[in-house]
Structure formats: structure tokens, C-alpha cells
Structure 1
């Protein structure tokens, strides 16, 4: 039995294909009377491959087959290319055979320095990635280095623009702490050009006690890609880090993405695996939870 068939069999036997039809955040349900979108307005749905990092290492192709079967439109890379490490065009063809696009890639700033920039960007161009996102950087979290770091981001933005690609930064909770009467994230947003992508991570915003909808609305047309992660402060009880079983008002987030954010990709990311779920099983449950929310929002 192939990895893919074993995976589907496991889901069916565990009842996980319908596991996310249980408790939902009441705010999400209440907003259904107000928030409505057309199905055609919903951005494409991708998955950050860090969500299945260990599974990818064991079975790269089988994992991507399973992701395709879940109904994802695309994947966002995080440095693992399996047997295609030196063959981006071959990887692109393989993804196309599964009906998958590339929504973007997380790339460290150390791979975008002047001596590595051309090689790095050429790889992602051949892969078909429309953008490169820096996943984190300690300099973005410290008063002594934030200004020089933003200057470097702006330099790379110009170079990426010349290559016909978008460039941006992804937050954790660490960039959402106070800085100059606001936050480090706000400083980055205010001091980068309008085409610089602010990849808001909804889960980390919730964890930091921030309203993700407010951040999408504050910087219109800049959350071109948004990380959909179910996460919340440790003080929250009776919830699970699975979309539809957490605290986030996902309908409000999607509505803001569509009406204010200019969002092209909803990128599901799973970093916690409750109830003994495997990485793929947890992604499947969150994907089904997101599908249910979208259905209610568009019906």
C-alpha cells in the first residue's frame, strides 16, 4: 500500500475526515448574519510546508500527494525540496502534475545577501514562486538593529522588484511588542514601500493579544499572503490549535483579507498536533475546518 493510500485509510479509520465539524468559536457563528462573500472572492488556499516538515523528510512525494488530495491549491516552501534540491523546474513540473502551484517561499535573509542573491532568486523564479518572504530575523525584534534591518529589507525589495517578484516579512509574537509607541511590526510596515508584503500570521497575532483583523485593515493591500494558524495565549482553555476549534473569528479575518488586505493566498500553517494527530492528520482537520468556515461565509 502506498504512503498516500495508507494516509487516507488512517484518516477514514480515525474519523478525522469529519472531525472538525464539532465546536466552533461562537463569534465566528454570530458574524455569519453580517459577513457574506461570493465564493469567487475567496483567495486560493495554500499550505506552509513547515507544517509537515518531518513527514516531508520521510516521504517527500507521498506527502505532497496527500496535500493535493486535501484540496489545497498551492504550497509555500520552507527550504525542503526533497529529490529536487537542484532541479526547481523538475519540481515545478511535479507540482503541476498534482494540480499544485507555488504561493511563495520562506527564505532567510542570509540567502539574499549580495553574494547569494542571484542564485537564490533564480531558483525560486524557475520554481514559479511569485514571492519570497523572510520568516524571521532577530534584528526585527531589537531596538538597536530594527532600523538597519528595515534598510536592508528595502534594499532587497528594490532588487526583487527588478526581478518581477514580491518580497516581504512574516511576523511572530516577538515583533508585536511595544516599540516607539507602537510595535516593531508597525515600524516595519510604516518604513517599507507599499509593495512590500506584510505576511500576517494570524495565530501569532492572537498569541500576542492582538486583533489580526485590525492589522489587515490598518495596512490595506499589503497582506498579499496571510498565515492561517490556530494559536492562542496559554491562558485559553477548552480550545484546540486547529482551525474551527480555536478562538479566532476566521470569518472576520477572511472578510478583511478580501475587502481590505488585497490577499491572494490564504496559507494554512500547522505547528501543533493535538490529540495524538500526525502532521498530515492535523493539517487535514484544520483544512476541513477552514473549508466549513468558507462554506458558511459564502452561503
Structure 2
């Protein structure tokens, strides 16, 4: 009878190969990043194409329009082609109720649909923090959203700070969220939420799957903060994780409303983009 010699090193190798390998933790898939074009509005007026090219070179995946279409005001199809050549998509657009009247609604929706925009946000309406007019506001917002859905589009609302003033044992923002359809998107502006001293993550969780777009920025207004993203102590990692998990956020929209001295708007946007890229890189590793 032959005996097989016992080699502990060999047996340890065999044992290691037979054990199930630990499952690798899946990486977080972060949403693409666009830029609100209001951030560079003067540069757009001076050089529309050059500014779009500069933003594309910064690594943005898309842009959010705010009423300036350069030489394409009557030609959304060609504007879409121009963006495509630069590798840019249209994440969304900001519009006012002036273009959502019964006479203009269909034309407005057709323009943006042709441009490739499926989600429109009303960014400002003083009725949104007026106790006597907020009901009228939510009714009009809901009606416009319902009409847009016939075009496979959506119309939502974007906050500033006054929507978080107290109203009916909650806030105006809570009233808007609870008096509109769960299908109506809420674009949370993180900068203004911080400025209003609200809990960002609690707001995202309060209305799940409705923060389908978020403005990523810092409001530096008499609070000693730097307007450049990443230069303050905000917990962006946790916020973006909550946006993904609870808000079902599809786009992160970088916005730059304030610019440090000696920096142009484009330079400020580039600096904040670098700060955001570092956050996203941490989440993906």
C-alpha cells in the first residue's frame, strides 16, 4: 500500500481554493453631473459656443438651461446637435410660469422636447411662500405637470430658502410636496437647504424618489463659507449617497452663484467641479 505524503502547504492551498470567495462590495453608481448654465450666464452671452466647449472640457456630462439658447432660440433641433458634438446632454431646464400659460404651454413643451429636455423646473415663484397664495400656486403647478405628462414630460419645483419658513405646523416646502402628486419631481437645492439650516438628508427621505435632480452648491452669504465646493465641512459623501438611495436622483446639477475674488465664473465652476469629482471618486472606490 502506498501512502500519500502530507504537505501542509499544498493542503492549505487546496483548502483556500475550495472556500467561497468573499463577495466584492458593489461600487456605488453615481449620477452624471450637469451644470446650471445660469452659473456662467455672462460668459454665454459673450461666447455661447466657446463657453459650452469649455464646460464640456471640464468633464460635465450635461447642461441645465435657464433661458439662454444663444443663436438657437428658434432652433432646438440644431442646438441639440451642437450639444451632442460636444458630448453634452440636457439634464433639465428652468422655466417660469410665463411660458406655461394655456396659450404657450404646448409650444413650450414642444421646444424642450425637441431639445431633448424631459424635465422642467419652476425655480422661483413668490406664491410658494405666501400663505394667501400657496394653494393657488400648487394647483397651477399640478395642472402644468399633468399636461406635461401627456408629452411624456414632467414639470417640478426648485427651492430657495424661503420655502422652509414655518407654515401650518410644517413648512411651505412640506405643503408643496404634500399637495402635489408623488410623480411631481422636487429639485432640491442643497446650498439653499443648508442656508435655511434644514436637515438635507431628512428632506430627501421625507419625500422618497422625488429628488430626481439636485443642485450641488454652497451658498456663501454672510456665513463665512467658501462658494467653492469641497472647501467647507459639508458631508457631501453622505448627502449624495442619500440622494442615490432615497431620492432616486438621476442628475447632480452643479451650480455656482458666487465667485471668489480674482476668479471668473468659469474658473469658479471648474474649481467646484474638481471638488465634486473628488467626492464622487471616493464613493466609487
Question: Please, what TM-score do these two structures have when normalized by structure 1?
Answer: 0.85
User: Of 255, 258, 272, which aligns to 1:269?
Assistant: 255
Quick check: which has more Rg, 1 or 2?
A: 2
**Alignment length, in residue pairs?**
261
Structure 1 residues 177-256: aligned runs within 5 Å: 177-232=165-220, 234=222, 236-237=223-224, 239-256=225-242
Does structure 2 retain, via aligned residues, the 8 Å contact 1:205–1:211?
A: yes
Go from structure 1 to structure 2 and tell me whether the alpha carbon gap of 1:225 and 1:154 turns closer, same or farther (over 3 Å shift): same
Go from structure 1 to structure 2 and tell me whether the alpha carbon gap of 1:63 and 1:233 turns closer, same or farther (over 3 Å shift): closer
CA displacement, residues 205-230 of structure 1 (integer Å, 9 cap, x when unaligned): 01111121111111110000000011
Cα offset, 1:273, TM superposition: 0.3
Q: Give the corresponding residue for 2:283.
A: 297
Q: Give the corresponding residue for 1:153.
A: 141
Q: Does 1:55 align with 2:68?
A: no
Does structure 1 retain, via aligned residues, the 8 Å contact 2:129–2:163?
A: yes
Q: Runs in 1 of length 4+ with deviation above 3 angstroms?
A: none
Partner Cα distance (2:132, 2:268) in 1: 39
Q: Give the corresponding residue for 1:3.
A: none
Q: Give the corresponding residue for 2:129.
A: 141
Q: Please tell me the root mean square deviation across aligned C-alpha atoms, in Å.
A: 1.2
Q: Give the corresponding residue for 2:82.
A: 94
Q: Give the corresponding residue for 1:22.
A: none
Cα offset, 1:246, TM superposition: 2.5
Q: Give the corresponding residue for 1:174.
A: 162
Does structure 1 retain, via aligned residues, the 8 Å contact 2:192–2:219?
A: yes
User: Of 29, 38, 43, which aligns to 2:27?
Assistant: 38
- Identify, as 1 or 2, the structure richer in helix: 1
Unpaired runs of 5+ residues, structure 1, are 1-35
Question: Please, what TM-score do these two structures have when normalized by structure 2?
Answer: 0.89
User: Of 67, 76, 96, which aligns to 1:108?
Assistant: 96
Q: Give the corresponding residue for 1:162.
A: 150
